[in-house]
Structures are given as structure tokens and as C-alpha cells.
Structure 1
Amino acid sequence: MQFNDQIDFVSQHIKKNKLRVFMTILAATMGTAFLIILASVGFGIQDTLKKEILDNRLVTQIEVYSADLDKEKAEHMKKLDHVKAVVLRQEVNGFQETTLDKYTTSSTLIVSDFGEEQKAGFALDKGRLPQSQYEVVVGSDFAESLTNEDEIEKFQAEQEGKELSEQEQAELEWPHYEGELLGQEITYEIGSYETNESYKEPVKLTIVGIAKAPSKDFISDIKLYADASLISELEAIYDRHKPEESEESLFNPNLNIYADELQHVKGITNSLKDEGYSVYSISEELEQIDVFFLALKAGLIFVGTIAILISSIGIFNTMTMAVTERTREIGVMKALGAKPKLIQRLFLLESAWIGIIGTVIAVILSYAISILANYLLPIIVGAALGEEGFGDLDVTFSIIPWQLVVIASTISISVAMISGWRPARKATQIDVIDALRREL
């Protein structure tokens, strides 16, 4: 019997029992679709979490932690293979006050090498980078941090007695410096945290640049960024005023290494670990996330497979009924010389056909549900939580990669074939004489 004849033979028998076969296909479809949709949630959450991490961090950045980080160690790290930049930022540790005209703020000063900062991608919104000891770049929100006590008191007095809703209170704009920053001279002072007072040795600095705003709206940048050449003057002021018994340093070092490409981050990280440094990179975080979600997705696929196994009971019953109903036909085929392998193949083809059709419909249905869920769920969740704009967030609830489709299809069709194997095997064992004696 040719393969086309075998297909026709299977099709004819399927058409005779349309309702029963339809219900069996429906069960297979539901089981496979459940597996795909369930696992797609794991892929969706993983993708959303990865995007969130990558949006907030530079993917090539490696953070180095050590109590004795200095310029010498930074120079050594620059010699490592595939290192693009080594940024040693030193943050002032102590009381700080910055004044511009009648406005003051407690912004933190950071000194750094702007040659390395530029290689690492330090971006400006306006102006230029510092080129001398007394030039600084200010954070994008520096102006908002500059306040005048008299204006604040006047503003509070004006608002006193007013009944404002929570939203109106949140939208109130407190008075702050609104003039031009570039070219302005500011007065910077350091002091003691214990007394919360300045050492009264002001340093005059000129604003030459404004840093680009952080990518996330909730991150505020009010820092001052100065060249490392300013360190000596600030340390001299600190040494004149610090207690003799104090061994505390004025600066807290923070060192970041930037690889030339993402694939080299892990190699640099391992090299630094071998040298005894404590390091952290986004590649390690992504690895941990991948391991967690691999286990989660495996668990979801396992749960979904149970649904397919339940649907396989329907395939087994359908094929068992098919063998019982066609006992006489099987006897005739055997009498005409049909081999057991051919008979077994015919019934396996029928069970495979049920599995394939159910899988194809399940894949189409799953993609439709996934698209609909990604569109509707943000709106529904936003409405339920009462959070405006939730639907505009980049949250993906379901993703169906081709690998998931292959895995689900393989499991579904394999289970269908296995479910049909026992009835097919039973068909080959039917006695010819007993089969021919049976009435139609």
C-alpha cells in the first residue's frame, strides 16, 4: 500500500467519526495550548526583568570593591585585556555645602579623571567637561536642589491654611534656583559630620557643564563632578581641621571598569577575582536570573506536560475504539496479505494526525492569547491598582519563542504517538479467523 493510499485510508475512517475525533483533537489542543501559555509567562517575566536591569545599568560595567582602591590600582587594571576605561571616582565623605548667590544645597562632590569618564560614556546635556582644577560639571537636577530659606518660609506661609488634595500637594513646585547655571561661580565648603558645620575655608568653583539626565525619571542627580586635581586642596583643608586621633579619610573611593564588549565582561570579572578583588557585574546578575528562570520554565513546562498527558487519555480511548470497530477490516487486510507493520503504521498515523492537528491549532491559539494578554493585562492591572499610565510601561506578560513551540510540539506529538501505540499494537495481534467471523 502506497503512502498516499495509507493517508486516504486514515482520512476515510476519521471522517466516519467526526465528532469523536473532534473532541479528541480539542482535548489535545487545550493541553498543548496550556503548556505553551503557561511556559510563555516565564519567558515574558524573564524578558521584562532583563530589560529593566539593562535599562538601568551599563552592560559593560564592572564594579570593583576594596578598602584600598587608589590611582595605582586603577592604572594596573587599565592594562587588563579588553578594558576600555577604568573610572576611579572619589566621593567626599563629610559635611558639604554649596552656595550660589543666596541659594544653598548639600550636594555631594565627586572627583574623577574625566579622560576615563569620557571613554566610559559620561554624557553632557550642556556645556563641556572640566579642563582645570576649579571647573565642575553639575548633575541634571542640581538647580532644583538649590533653595533659599527665606523663599521657602514665604512659600510655606502662602500654602498655610489651603486644603489641597494629595495630587495637588505632590504637584506643588517648591521655590528653587531658576537662573542659568553655565558660567556661574559657586562656593563649595567641606566640614565635619559630627558638628554639621563648615570648616569656613570656601573653594570657588565654576560650572562649565550640566550632566545628562538619568534614563529613569525617579533617579535624581544633584552631584558636583570635579577633576581629580582638586583632591590635594580639599585634603589640605581636611587635614588642618580633622582630630589628631582620626584616621578617617576624606574620600570614599568607587572604582568601575568598562569592558570594550559585553562578551569580555566575564573574562575581566574572573581575572579580578583571581587577584583577590570583590567584583560585581551585570553578567553575573544575568547569569543568576537565567539559572532561576531556567528552573522556573522547566517547572512550568512540566506542569503543562501533565495537561497533555491527561489529554492523551482521550487519544488512547479513541484509538482503542477505532481498533474495536475495525476488527473485521483488519481481518480482511490480513487475509489479503497486509503485514502487521502496515496495520500498526495505519493506526499510528491516525493518532499522529490527531496530535499534529491539535498541536497546530494550539500554537495558533497560544500566539493569539499571548498577543491579547500583552495588550489587555497592563490596562486591566492598571485599572485594578488605580495607577495611571501602567498600560504604557514596557511590561511583557507572555513571550512565545520558537524553542518553546518546538518543545511543546515535540511533547504533544510524541505523547499522541505513544497513546496510539498500544491500540495499534493490539490491532496487529487480532486473529484473522475471529475477525472475519465478526458481523459488520
Structure 2
Amino acid sequence: MLFKDQVDFVRQHLKKNRLRVFTTVLATTMGCAFLIVLASIGFGLQGSMEREILTDQKLTEIEVYGDPQKKIDVDAIRKMENVRAVVEKTNAQLSANVKFEERTNSVPVNMTEFDNEEKVGSKLSEGRLPQNSDEIVVGYHFAENLLSKAELKEQEKLNEESAENDTTSTKQAKKLGYKESLVGKTISVKLQDYDNDKAINKELTFKVVGVSEKPAKDWLIKNTILFSHELKGEFYNIYKASVKDSKNIKAEKDMFYPEIKVHATNLEAVKGVIAKLKDKGLSVYSVTEQLDDINVIFLAFKVGLIFVGTIAVLIASIGIFNTMTMAVTERTREIGVMKAIGASPKLIQRLFLMESAWIGILGTAIAIVISYGISFLSNWLLPIIIDMATDSKQFQEAGIVFSHIPWQLILVASVISIGVALLSGWRPARKATKIDVIQALRQE
């Protein structure tokens, strides 16, 4: 019998029992769709978490921490293989009281090595990186926080109202501050020790040459100034000169806290660089390590979801088994005739397996279409429903994906669904090959 004739033979018998076949296909569809949708939750949440971690993060960046009492040998790290650059930043126990025209602002004192920042490709929203110690880069929201006396009073009023109406307060706050570009402008700075209420009298002037890039998240506020790392000694001398009682002078190591960031040449080199840094007794943090931990957790989570979904497919397989068993019972005489005219047991088995496979393929195809529809609706509706319930817009603005269906999930689900369908039809198909010809022909 030609393959085309086999297909026609299967199609004719399926048409005879449309209702039974329809309910069996429906059960297969529901089981497979449940498997795909359930597993897609794991893929969706994992993708959302990875995007959250990677936002505003550099994949090749490694943060290094050492013993506070010991200085980290930065030069030795720079000479390590696969290290593109090392940026040493410093957080000072000082604040900078800024004055520009009739406006003021207060920000923490942060210093960095601008030449190395350029090597790692630090981005700005405006201007350039400093080339001299009297040039600075201000944060993206620095200008918004340069307030006049009248605006300071209005800001205090808005802060009081913010507890009652966050949305209105935020919209009004955006109207405050300096609206023009600060690039090319000169500002004056007075340093202040965190433990002292009064600012140090010495006034310094700096030229703004750049503005940092916009934060990846709307709720992040960059109200900062980045000074040159070369000013570390000068700032400490200014601080020491302002302290009247020499017994109260903080040591330089207590005044400045280093923050070292190592940048590997590429993503593949990150793990090797991390291993070498750990061999030196340093503590490190890299977003790649966090991603590895998340991947392991979500792998177990997705495997569990697929296992639960597979149970639904197995339940649906009972329907296929019953359908094929009834088909064999109803067509006993027909099987006997086929055997009498020379049909081999393998051919008869193949015909029944083709029927069960057709049910599995059709059910899986419909399930895939339905699953994509459910995934789209859940990603669209769930954030709206949750935000309506919590009276906010956090989930819609966050862009959380609750369901994601990659092609690998479709492949796994299809193999499971069609494979279970074939296994369900195998036993009835084997039963068909063992039917006695004489008894089958005697059956009416």
C-alpha cells in the first residue's frame, strides 16, 4: 500500500468518528497548552529578572573589595591578562555645597579617574569627559536640583504634600530647578565634613564639561558631581586645615573609601579575571555571577513547571488510548480482511499509529496557537489588573513580562505531546496486529 493510500485510509476512518476524534484532539490541545503556558511563566519571569539586573550594568565590569586596612594593588590588577581597564573611584566623607548664580545644591563628593573612564567607554548625555582637575561632570538630575530660595520653599511644601499625592508632587517638582544646559558654566563649591554642620570656608571653582547619561530607570536620581581623582590630596588638606582640634582629624583612609571596578576585555574573559582576583584574596562581584545563580534557580523552576504540565499531557493521553482501543475493537472485521488479502502486521500497526500521531500533531498545533494568544493577553492584561488593584502604574511602567514562549519550549512541548500520543496509540496498534484472521472474518 502506497503512503498516499495509507493517508487516505486514515483520513476516512477519522471522519467516521468525528465527535470522538474532536473530543480527543480537544483533550490533547488542553494538555499541551497547559504545559506551554505553565512553563512560559518561568521563561517570562527569568527574562524580566535578567533585564532588571542588566539594566544600567556592564557585563564585563567586576567590582573589587579588599581588606579595609590594606590597600589594593591596583597597578598589579591592571597588568593582569584580559583586563582592559581599572577604574578607581573614591567616595569621600564630604559633601559639596554648590552655588551657581542664585541657586544652590548639596551633593556627595565622588572622585574618579577620567582617563580610565574614557577607556571603558563611559557615556554622557551631553558634553565630554574632563581633561583637567578643574573640570567636572554633573549628574543627569543635578540641574533640576539647583534651586533658588523661592524654589527651596516650594520644594519643602511639595515634600509635605507628596505623602498625600505622589503623582501631582512629582509633576510639579519637574518644573523646579535650572532649565538650561550647564555645560560650559562655572560653579563654586564649598566642602563640608559629614560630622560638621558648617561648611569649610575655602571656595573652589569648577567648570562643568559634561552631564552623565540618563538613568535606565525613571525612579533613579543622579544628583551628583564627579571630581577628578587627582583632587584627593587637595581635598584632604583643605579638610585638615579646617579642623581646629588636631586630635579630631580623621585619617585619610577613614575619610576616603575606594571603589575599584575592573573591566575585562570581553564577556568570555570575565570568569577568568574573577578567578585570578579571588586568588589574590579579593572579594568580587560581577553581574555574570548573579545571572549564573538566577539561571540555576530558574532552570529548576522551569523543569518543575514542565513536569507538572507533562502530567496534564499524560492525562490527555488516556483519551487517545481509549479512542484508539475503541477504533481497533470496532474495526476487527476490517483488520481481518486486510490480513486476509496480505496486509503485513507492520502495515496495520503503522496505520493505527498514524491515526494517534495525527491526533497528537493536530492537538499540538492548536495548542501552540492558543498558548501564544494566552501569553500575549496575560502580558497585556495582568499589569493593568494588578495596577488597578494596587492603585499604581508600577507594573506597566516596569515592563514585567509574565509569560514568554521561546522556540525551545515549543520544541520540547511538541516532542512531549506527540511522543505521548504515539505511546498511547502503540498498545492498541499492537493489539490490532494480533487479531486472528478467521475469528475476525466471522465477526458481524
User: TM-score normalised to the size of structure 2?
Assistant: 0.88
1:172 lines up with 2:177 in the alignment: no
Equivalence for 1:66: 66
Distance in 1 separating the partners of 2:191 and 2:216: 30
Question: Is the CA contact (8 Å cut-off) linking 1:330 and 1:343 kept in structure 2?
Answer: yes
**Which position in structure 2 is the counterpart of 1:264?**
269
Select 1:400's aligned residue among 392, 400, 405. 405
Is 1:69–1:253's contact at 8 Å kept on the other side of the alignment?
Answer: no
Q: Which residue of 1 aligns with 2:35?
A: 35
> 8 Å contact 2:143–2:177 — kept in the other structure?
yes
Number of the residue aligned with 2:142: 142
Q: Distance in 2 between matches of 1:286 and 1:275?
A: 24
Q: Identify the match of residue 350 of structure 1 among 352, 355, 361.
A: 355
Specify the alignment match of 1:226 in structure 2.
Answer: 227
| Distance across 2 between alignment mates of 1:334 and 1:190 | 100
Matched with 1:250 is 255
Partner of 1:415: 420
CA contact (8 A) 1:92 1:110 kept: yes
Residues 122-131 or 42-51, more deviating:
122-131
3-state SS of the aligned residue for 2:132? coil
Name the Cα RMSD after superposition: 2.9
Matched residues in 2 for 1:118 and 1:386: separation? Answer: 44
* Cα drift, residue 111 of structure 1: 1.7
Aligned to 2:20: 20
Give the C-alpha shift of residue 32 in structure 1: 0.8
Q: Is the 8 A contact 2:87 2:262 kept in 1?
A: yes
| Gaps in structure 2 of 5+ consecutive residues | none
Q: 1:326, 1:207 → 2: CA distance?
A: 89
In 2, the alpha carbon distance for the partners of 1:75 and 1:208 equals 28
Separation of aligned partners in 1, 2:377 and 2:155: 49
Equivalent in the alignment of 1:304: 309
Supply the distance in 2 between the matched residues of 1:155 and 1:246 (Cα, whole angstroms).
Answer: 35
| Shift in alpha-carbon separation, 1:235–1:195, aligned structure 2, 3 A | closer
Cα drift, residue 364 of structure 1? 2.2
- 1:308 CA displacement: 0.6
Residue 363 in structure 1 maps to residue 368 in structure 2? yes
Could you tell me which amino acid in structure 2 is paired with residue 87 of structure 1?
V
Amino acid at match of 2:78: K
Distance 2:218 2:373 in 1: 34
Q: Deviation at 1:70?
A: 8.7
Q: Matched residue of 1:98: which SS?
A: strand
SS at structure 1 position matched to 2:188: strand
- TM-score, normalising length from structure 1? 0.89
Alignment match, 1:321? 326
CA contact (8 A) 1:100 1:187 kept: no
Q: What letter is aligned with 2:231?
A: L
Q: 1:185 aligns with which of 187, 191, 213?
A: 187
Q: Which runs of structure 2 are paired with 1:158-169 in the superposition (5 Å)? A: 167-169=167-169
1:210 equivalent in structure 2: 211
1:312 deviates by 0.5
Seen in structure 2, the aligned counterparts of structure 1 residues 375 and 92 have a Cα distance that, compared at 3 Å, is same
Asked whether 1:120 is paired with 2:120, we answer yes
Superposed CA offset, 1:63-92 (max 9, x none): 111135998722222222222221100111
- Is 1:373 matched up with 2:349? no
CA 1:313–1:64 in structure 2 vs 1: closer, same or farther (change >3 Å)? same
2:337 pairs with 1:332: yes
In the alignment, the residues of structure 2 paired with residue 393 and residue 246 of structure 1 have an alpha-carbon distance, to the nearest angstrom, of 43
By how many angstroms is 1:102 displaced?
4.9
Aligned to 1:8: 8
The letter of the residue matching 1:227 is S
Matched, 1:109 2:113: no
Query: 2:45 maps to which residue?
Result: 45
Deviation for aligned residue 1:255: 0.7
Pair 1:47–1:103, CA change in 2 (3 A): same
Matches within 5 A, 1:95-106: 96-106=96-106
Partner AA of 1:42 in structure 2? G
Q: Identify if the C-alpha distance between structure 1 residues 340 and 198 changes in structure 2 by more than 3 Å, giving closer, same or farther.
A: same
Provide the aligned length of Structure 1 versus Structure 2: 436
Distance 1:159 1:183, change over 3 A: closer
Change over 3 Å in CA distance of 1:318–1:155 after alignment to 2: closer
Which residue does the alignment assign to 2:433? 428
- Cα drift, residue 158 of structure 1: 11
2:171 corresponds to which letter in structure 1?
A: E
For structure 1, the residue ranges without an aligned partner over 5 or more in a row are none
